[in-house]
Amino acid sequence: MVNAASIGLSTRDLYLFNNGNSFHSYRFLGAHPIRLGDEKGVRFSVWAPQAKSVRVSGSFNEWQSDKHVMEKVGETGVWSLFIPGIRVGAIYKYELETASGDRLLKSDPYAFQSERRPRTASVVTDLSSYHWNDRAWQLHQQEESPYHEPMLIYEVHLGSWRVKGKEIFLTYEEMADQLLDYVVEMGYTHIELLPITEHPLDQSWGYQTTGYYSATSRYGTPEQLMIFVDRCHQRGIGVLLDWVPGHFCKDDHGLRLFDGTPIYEGADWKRAEKPLWGTLAFDFGRTEVQSFLISNAIFWMDVFHIDGLRVDAVASMIDLHFDKAPELHTYNKFGGRENTDAIRFLKRLNETVFHYYPDALMIAEDSSAWPAVTSPTYMGGLGFNFKWNMGWMNDMLRYMALDPNERRHHHQLITFSLMYAFSENFILPLSHDEVVHGKRSLLGKMSGTYEQKFAQLRLFYGYWMTHPGKKLLFMGGEWGQFDEWKDAESLDWQLLEYESHGRMNDYVKALNTVYADRSALWERDCDPGGFEWIDVHNAAQSIIVFLRRGLEPDCFNVVLCNFSTQHYENYRVGVPEAGMYRLVLNSDEQAFGGHTTLMPEVLTAEAVPWQGRAYSLTLELPPLAFLMLAYEEKGPKK
């Protein structure tokens, strides 16, 4: 055994790691270039409590691991070794001898960089040298509340947004130019990246990870990712990561049976198996696993200045029976199906993140009806600050696929979401999951003729943008990508050369601009006072009318959605105040691919009671159209 201090390790750090209270364990585990005495080199440290022996094998010893045998650090389960003379860029793995005498060659769970697939070695990396220039962004974030600010997220898969050729990807740094310019031009507030943690299989999109601390080398170096995030912040764009703590893949060089025993996945194989994905669940009750995962969440915010995490597959974490056959069912100590270890872990994760980063975004991708996901933990909640509204998304996509003549029988699909819209802090997701595996693109889901599909998508986007909740759209949806998402190819950018797709892109850009400019659309997203129905019951005509209110009394917008194919020349709608109402956006404008040629820009309310309101106005309501009016003043000017 080796004394921790003799190799620059802290006994306190190791104690906290073993007890699940180390939230920066990446600072001492893994490969760290250090000076020990008069020598420069690299200290390697790895947790492998049941290993019989551990060695470091790499480019610096011609992969002859017997030259570099690691020593146990007390009873911590950690093995460590300082090797002088090694430089940044060296590649390595750990060779572990199991209790039964087998030899395993494993990548470093704490590696900061990995070889590009199909190679699987870890790379010695120094992450401390980058100079950040996003101080203004950090200060701005401290002054704003995400609940009362616009949030319009552009979800991106870096391997297919735009590529140079087959498996020839843009680098993180190139993305900092091309992708960022596009996002700013289109008016998004955040970029959300599908998982960029290192993964062996492109087709997993990063959701089956082997390197939780490694930004995938497909797109370049860790420093290039820092440049990407830094430039985003300098231009006012937040960066979110999809984060996958629910499960990991079974590849031999990864976490599975890491030291010959299930230290990351746990001994109960029924609980560990994730048959739907062919992966393994983490053992959330093991303290060292808690240190590993919570430290990883902190790592991305600390080292890469990431603004928040979208936590994947929360429902699969908290439900022991999630997508499992009866023979794989297990139960908690109370006889229930809730994974009490995972629930405690999620609460602790959020408490820790918000302790260090109070302005972070912690977003639950949760398809269950679990209550209080976005309530504080001291009130019994899971402690996230936002949750994806999967119910709204499923209902609306089902509704939009209906023939308009059938919609009057399913009116509840567009109104039911307001029964629970304020039970959580919601994000309305139109994500990658909805445009793959035979589900068709968003445009393809719309019913009707080719032209009607575009009209309906414009209408759908209008309702989405004005419904309470923050917004997320997967790449390509903004111009009506016609085919399903193809993860191995670039988006169909050539579609922008066609008038219908180009005008759809213009419409989305205009809609994004209206969203940013109209505070009533986001100031009270999480407040029931920010929404009022004007006409919720008009199933016969498939029309809904509602108000979105801002913090100021006179700040409100009137929204009309006509989900039918009927054209109304003089449609009367009730409004709450006398005065003038300006037409802010009409999805049926010719400029967007519609048919409206001339519509009054300003309408004046009449003292004609209608729909429970003291005033009303009449306007043209085109078929399959979204209209938004902004209230401008209380009565005529003197």
Distance CA 361, CA 309 (A): 6
Dig out the tokens for 96 from the structure: 């572990």
Q: Which string of DSSP letters, residue by residue, matches 250-304?
A: --TTSSTTTTSS-TTT-S-HHHHEETTTTEEE--TT-HHHHHHHHHHHHHHHHHH
- 365: which 2 tokens? 């991708």
Residue 543 pairs in a beta bridge with 562
Closest CA to 115 of 227, 244, 225, 210: 210
Q: Which residue has the tokens 């790449």?
A: 475
Residue indicated by tokens 């039964």: 100
- Give the catalytic positions in this structure: 312, 365
Contact 114, 121 (CB under 8 A): yes
How many angstroms separate the CA atoms of 200 and 254, rounded?
Answer: 10
Residue closest to 27 by CA, chosen among 252, 204, 220, 213: 213
What is the rounded CA–CA span in Å between residue 472 and residue 115? 32
Q: If you ran DSSP here, which 8-state letter would residue 385 be given?
A: S
β-pair partners for 34: 41
User: What span, in angstroms and rounded, lies between the C-alpha atoms of 266 and 66?
Assistant: 30
Q: What is the DSSP letter of 205?
A: T
Cis peptide before 49 (omega within 30 of 0): no
Please state, in angstroms and as integers, the Cα–Cα distance from residue 603 to each residue in 258, 472, 582, 593, 610, following that order.
69, 32, 6, 24, 16
Where do we find the tokens 């797109």?
Answer: 219
How many angstroms separate the CA atoms of 140 and 234, rounded? 11
Radius of gyration (C-alpha) of the chain in whole angstroms: 27
E-state strands within 85-219: 91-97, 103-106, 122-123, 152-156, 163-165, 168-169, 190-193, 197-198, 211-215
